């Protein structure tokens, strides 16, 4: 059993951010490169598109608003599709028909975290969105996603009918912005060092090892 102090890793990301989808796989691969370093991973909310209405909007309207036109996004999308594929992930932009506001997704990840299933919940929501074109504005889609990772569907459904944790998630996302995080994914190591972007696993692994060594050296002083 390791006597090292676990390294806290806060991963700030959004479920509709394709580079966050890729970045999640890369940080997981990075952790496999440093199996001897104990870590404590936390998934933190971020609103990539805070201007999207709470009930979502059509994908066409979203792409036109953000990129100028649907066609303007196609070249960008192909690069992301290729990067996802290299990580063994499927991103099918044409499947996405509706752009969600993600506060309910982040509430669900937060609730899953209490069961130790935040990473699984995040992965399920991302797969639904990027791979399957799932409508994350539909409460029943979210409830089914929760059930898929072992949460109680009826419990989740009843909680969605309230404003439980809306203020908390909003405050956490605002806190990330207040700390200067503008692009995601951002990995924050030991609440001190931030690495932005879906960096290569080798780079992330090197950062994990270096910061862990520093944290443990300080603890030993």
Residues 22-73 have pLDDT tens digits of 999 999 999 999 999 999 999 999 999 999 999 999 999 999 999 999 999 9
Residue by residue, pLDDT tens for the chain (221 residues) are: 568 999 999 999 999 999 999 999 999 999 999 999 999 999 999 999 999 999 999 999 999 999 999 999 998 999 999 999 999 999 999 999 999 999 999 999 999 999 999 999 999 999 999 999 999 999 999 999 999 999 999 999 999 999 999 999 999 999 999 999 999 999 999 999 999 999 999 999 999 999 999 999 988 87
Q: Does any domain span residue 1?
A: no
Helices (H), the chain: 18-33, 59-67, 70-86, 103-113, 118-126, 139-148, 153-160, 166-178, 201-220
Note the pLDDT of residue 76. 92
**Separation CA 137–CA 125 (nearest Å):** 11
Note the pLDDT of residue 221. 79
Note the pLDDT of residue 2. 64
Identify the domain containing residue 41 by its residue range.
7-220
Note the pLDDT of residue 8. 98
**Separation CA 146–CA 99 (nearest Å):** 20
Q: Does any domain span residue 2?
A: no
Q: Does any domain span residue 148?
A: yes
**Separation CA 177–CA 172 (nearest Å):** 9
Q: Does any domain span residue 45?
A: yes
Note the pLDDT of residue 78. 95
Q: Does any domain span residue 186?
A: yes
Work out whether strand 57-58 and strand 98-99 pair parallel, antiparallel, or are unpaired: antiparallel
Note the pLDDT of residue 1. 53
Q: In the chain, at which residue ranges do the beta strands (DSSP E only) sit? A: 7-13, 39-45, 57-58, 98-99, 186-189, 193-196
Number of domains in the chain: 1
φ/ψ of residue 17, rounded to 5: -95, 110
Note the pLDDT of residue 3. 85
Q: Does any domain span residue 132?
A: yes
Note the pLDDT of residue 48. 96
The domain spanning residue 18 has which CATH number?
A: 3.40.30.10
Q: Does any domain span residue 115?
A: yes
Q: Does any domain span residue 191?
A: yes
Note the pLDDT of residue 140. 98
Note the pLDDT of residue 214. 96
Cis peptide before 185 (omega within 30 of 0): yes
């Amino acid at each position: 059993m390791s006597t090292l102090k676990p390294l806290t890793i806060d991963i700030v990301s959004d479920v509709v951010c394709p580079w966050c989808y890729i970045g999640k796989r890369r940080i997981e691969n990075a952790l496999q490169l440093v199996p001897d370093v104990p870590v404590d991973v936390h998934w933190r909310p971020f609103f990539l598109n805070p201007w999207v209405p709470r009930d979502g909007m059509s994908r066409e309207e979203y792409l036109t608003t953000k990129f100028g036109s649907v066609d303007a996004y196609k070249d960008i999308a192909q690069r992301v599709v290729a990067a996802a594929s290299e990580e063994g992930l499927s991103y099918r932009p044409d499947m996405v028909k509706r752009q969600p506001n993600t506060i309910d997704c982040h509430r669900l990840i937060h609730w899953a975290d209490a069961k130790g299933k935040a990473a699984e919940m995040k992965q399920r929501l991302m797969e639904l969105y990027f791979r399957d074109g799932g409508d994350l504005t539909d409460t029943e889609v979210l409830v089914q996603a929760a059930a898929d990772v072992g949460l109680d569907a009826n419990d989740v459904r009843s909680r969605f009918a309230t404003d439980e944790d809306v203020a908390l998630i909003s405050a956490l996302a605002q806190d990330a912005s207040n700390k200067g995080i503008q692009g995601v994914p951002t990995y924050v190591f030991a609440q001190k060092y931030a690495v932005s972007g879906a960096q290569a696993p080798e780079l992330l692994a090197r950062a994990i090892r270096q910061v862990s060594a520093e944290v443990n050296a300080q603890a030993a002083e």
